[in-house]
Structure 1
Amino acid sequence: MSESKTTTDHDEIRQWAEDRGGRPAAIRTKGEGGILRIDFGEPEEEFEAIEWDEFFRIFDENNLAFLYQDETGGGKTSRFNKFVDRNQKG
């Protein structure tokens, strides 16, 4: 059974992403920052590669948490992730 976890730990997020070949990215918006994503190399024109420092600045400024899975229900390495409000329950 796959289990989702939530963290705000920068090192844990970075390690999870890099273990799966992921890199920090943003989709730029009209305001400051942008919408954060982990880019796994699939062609997505709107993704802009950013450095981890900028990624975590946006992450913290927007009071985000990282929701992720280590493995799929079948036991394979999972890339499932999304960003949620730190104050969101469940």
Structure 2
Amino acid sequence: MSRILTDRQAIRQWVEARGGNPVLMDVPDGSKSRTILQLAFGQEPLNAGNDADQDRVGGFQLVSWEEWLTALETGNLALMVSDDPSGGNEAEYNFVERH
């Protein structure tokens, strides 16, 4: 069963309950760039070390919840999540247009 989350606190609670972190990536788009929203799961060890690139996950940058949620709202997006109890703690989600 799926549900659509638009409330900032509900989104953050759902992601954090599954060990997720907010990430953004700016990618070239013609003469401009566009920001890609993503969620990274199981990345908590990144912040434990002193590596220069500890804020990077495969090109994505770990960001604050405020920055990520603002980008989500600016893009008029919501988070559609699966709450299927048979799926355990798996993080099944999609970005959908906010209504």
TM-score (norm 2): 0.73
Structure 2: any 5+ residue segments left out of the alignment? 44-55
The percent identity for this pair of structures is 32
Distance 1:41 1:32 in 2: 28
Structure 1: any 5+ residue segments left out of the alignment? none
Distance 1:45 1:53 in 2: 21
Deviation at 1:46, TM superposition (A): 2.0
Q: CA RMSD in A?
A: 2.1
The equivalent of 2:90 in structure 1 is 78
Deviation at 1:34, TM superposition (A): 1.2
CA distance change for structure 1 residues 45 and 4 in 2, over 3 Å: closer, same or farther?
Answer: same
In proportion to residue count, which structure has more strand? 2
Larger Rg computed on CA atoms = 2
How many residues were matched structurally?
Answer: 84
In proportion to residue count, which structure has more helix? 2
Instruction: Report the secondary structure of 2:27's partner residue.
Output: coil
